[in-house]
Structure formats: structure tokens, C-alpha cells
Chains A and B, each alone.
Chain A
Amino acid sequence: MLRRNMTILWRELDGEAVLLDPNAGCSYNLNAVGTVIWKMLDGTHTSGEIASAICESYEVEYEQALQDVEHLLADMRTNNLVSEVASPTHPVA
């Protein structure tokens, strides 16, 4: 699972997020759907869960939504905007 990088500063502007990576001096725009995805990147949602949430708000097939989410997350990883969080493990009795 992925989580927003803590060093990234961001603001929402008319439903679209503006991101700033101070370490790289780069800033980014996210469109409305990208912003929904960005807000769900708190380390507790899988790509599938994010895609399902997108399907509830937009008229799109799950497979298409999942593919788009995966693409966006790959872009975010490349730009160091997100980092991997270890999946929660359940204690064994």
C-alpha cells in the first residue's frame, strides 16, 4: 500500500490538488480524479479499494479504474510523491 510522502506539501484548489516537493523544487497538478486518489493515499487503502471508490463516484468500469489508478500511482512513485507502507499483518494466535 502507498502513502503520501510526508515532505510533500499540497493544497486543493477548485477540486484539483497542487503539490509541491520542496526537496526537488518541483510542483505538480492533479486533476479531479487524481485528487480523489491522492486523498485516499493514507497507507490504509489498496489500489483495488481506491478503484472501487472511483467507480462509486464516476461512471467507469472497475477494470478501467484500476488500470488508471495503477498508472497514476506509478507516476507518483517515479516522482517520489508516495512511499510504500508495509501491509498490516494480523497476529497469529
Chain B
Amino acid sequence: MSRMGEISAFQQRDSHAQSTIADLFIEALRQGQSLWFRVGSGSMLPLLKVDAQVYIEPAPGRAIRVGEIAAFETPQGLMIHRIVRIEHTKRIQPTRQPQGDGSSVRLLQMPDVIVRPTWLDEHTVIGRVVAIRGGNRHINLKHPIAQKYGRVTAYVRYRLYMTENRLLKTVLRACSRLALNTGCWCIERCCLISEI
């Protein structure tokens, strides 16, 4: 006979419940709470494997740097992708603004496996990935090697997106793969920590 009060590990059986969980993750980050988040897709391979867990620290869009993996809100829930470009726009105001500097920031996010970027408004960005755990291993993405890897990857992938020259595109695609794979190999060996 089953018990009356039962608790079960959350199962993604219901899209309504799934969106509630996504809302809770977003709420936690908006409240300034760091959290562990399970990677649900292979869009950030080879670094972020499906079912690995990433540690997300709350951070506003303006604090994110090129190369970092940002956490941002989408209609589908919380998503984590690399920021490959940041643009600052200064608004020219006819009158003096009492608050703020009148500028805005937008961030170009791109998965590591496909060249399909989209611009994000700074207010949709709510955090950054700072660590990965899979099995007994913890990887620190604040390590200088990991940060360099992020910047190089972002640079190559942004160039890959921008170029229209077919030959250059082929070369950049190969460079992107090389940067992702060798960088990931280095990070997995040099940026280990015992625990968060």
C-alpha cells in the first residue's frame, strides 16, 4: 500500500511543473542565491556534458565578460551559453537624466556546438557559470586558464559568425573546434578544485 504523504525526485513529466522549476531557479538567482543547475542539453559540449552540474553565481548583465558562460532567462526557462560579444550603447538624452548613465548593454550569446547566436538584453542575464561538477571532479572556471580558454573561444566563434568568406569560414570552423577541444582538455587537467 502506498503512503499518504509522498516525496519524489522531480521528473520532467509535465511541462507546467517544468516551467515552475525553471521559475524557481530564476527566482533563486534573482534573490542573489548561488545554485547548482543540471545541464540538460549538449549545446555547450565538450566542456559542459549532459547531466553534469554547473554552479551559477548571481551576476548582472553588466558584470559579465566576453568568454564567460552566462545564465539568462528565456521563455523556455533558464539557459546557459557563452557570451561572445558585448556592446555598450550610449543613449543621447535631450534632457539630463537624474538616474543611471543612460547607457545600455547587450550581449551576444552563442552555444559552443552551433553558430546560432542571439542578442540578449542585459536585464535577462542573471548569473555566470563558475564551476562544473561531474562525478567526483570539480572544475573551477575562475582559474586563469579557464578564463583564457573562454576568451579565445569567444573570439574565434564570433569571427566565425561574422565572416562571409567561405574559405575563411572553413578555417575558422576548424580553429573553433581545435580551441574548444584543446581548451577543454587543458581545463579538465589544470583547473580542478576539491570542492566548492
How far apart sit A37 and B53, CA to CA, in the bound complex (Å)?
Answer: 30
A86 part of interface (Cβ distance < 8 Å): no
B158-173 Cβ-contact flags toward A at 8 Å (1 or 0): 0000000000000000
Chain A interface residue number, banded: 35 or more
- With known contacts A9-B27, A13-B16, A18-B20, A68–B35 Cβ distance under 8 A: no
Q: Which of B4, B5, B20, B34 sits near A22, CB closer than 8 Å?
A: B34
CB distance from A62 to the nearest CB of B (A): 12
- Which residues of A24-49 have CB atoms within 8 Å of chain B's CB atoms? 24-31, 33-34, 36-37
* Count of chain B residues with a beta carbon within 8 Å of a chain A beta carbon: 25
Q: Which of A29, A58, A69 sits near B11, CB closer than 8 Å?
A: A29
Interchain Cβ contacts within 8 Å, total number: 86
CB <8 Å contact, B24 and A10: yes
CB distance from A87 to the nearest CB of B (A): 22
Interface of B, secondary structure class, is: mixed
- With known contacts A18-B24, A20-B21, A22-B28, A72–B16 Cβ distance under 8 A: no
CB <8 Å contact, A25 and B20: no
CB <8 Å contact, B35 and A23: yes
Additional pairs, 14, CB under 8 Å, beyond known A18-B21, A29-B8, A71-B3: A9-B24, A9-B27, A18-B10, A19-B10, A22-B28, A24-B36, A25-B37, A27-B24, A29-B7, A29-B10, A30-B6, A37-B5, A54-B4, A65-B4
Counting from the closest, the 9 A-B pairs by CB-CB distance are A25-B36, A22-B35, A27-B10, A72-B5, A34-B5, A20-B24, A33-B4, A68-B4, A33-B5
